[in-house]
């Protein structure tokens, strides 16, 4: 299996650098290779059913071209909707807690 055959699913948690990562992805991948799952693109991407319905409505040839999925609407289990190996990516923030 080659790295280019892997689908990367990036679960974007708020305030963890996901917007910067998204801009790098847009710069390094073709538009048809990226699936953005953000509420401002489609309000249904807030719900699991909305994401699944959208992905299942895509023609198979379009679905096969996707290499990266990123968004607040991405969740564990999306790999079941695709026929290729997947890798999940999640960034966590190391919060600093200051006690007074």
Number of domains in the chain: 1
Mark 16-47 as b/e (b = at least 16 C-beta within 10 Å). Answer: eebeebbeebeeeeeeeebbbbbeeeeeebee
Per-residue pLDDT at 17: 83
* Residue 68 maps to a domain: yes
pTM: 0.86
Per-residue pLDDT at 11: 92
Per-residue pLDDT at 4: 65
* Residue 69 maps to a domain: yes
* Residue 96 maps to a domain: no
* Residue 100 maps to a domain: no
Per-residue pLDDT at 97: 58
* Residue 62 maps to a domain: yes
Per-residue pLDDT at 92: 80
pLDDT tens-digit series, residues 20-71 = 999 999 999 999 999 999 999 889 898 999 999 999 999 999 999 999 999 9
* Residue 46 maps to a domain: yes
Q: What domain range includes position 41? A: 3-90
């Amino acid at each position: 299996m080659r790295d280019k055959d892997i689908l990367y699913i990036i679960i974007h948690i708020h305030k963890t650098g996901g917007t910067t990562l998204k801009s790098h992805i847009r710069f390094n991948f073709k538009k048809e290779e990226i699936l953005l799952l953000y509420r401002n693109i489609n309000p249904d991407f807030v719900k699991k059913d909305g994401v699944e319905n959208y992905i299942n409505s895509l023609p198979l040839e379009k679905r096969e071209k996707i290499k990266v999925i990123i968004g607040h609407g991405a969740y564990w289990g999306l790999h079941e909707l695709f026929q290729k190996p997947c890798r999940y990516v999640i960034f966590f923030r190391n919060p600093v807690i200051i006690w007074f």
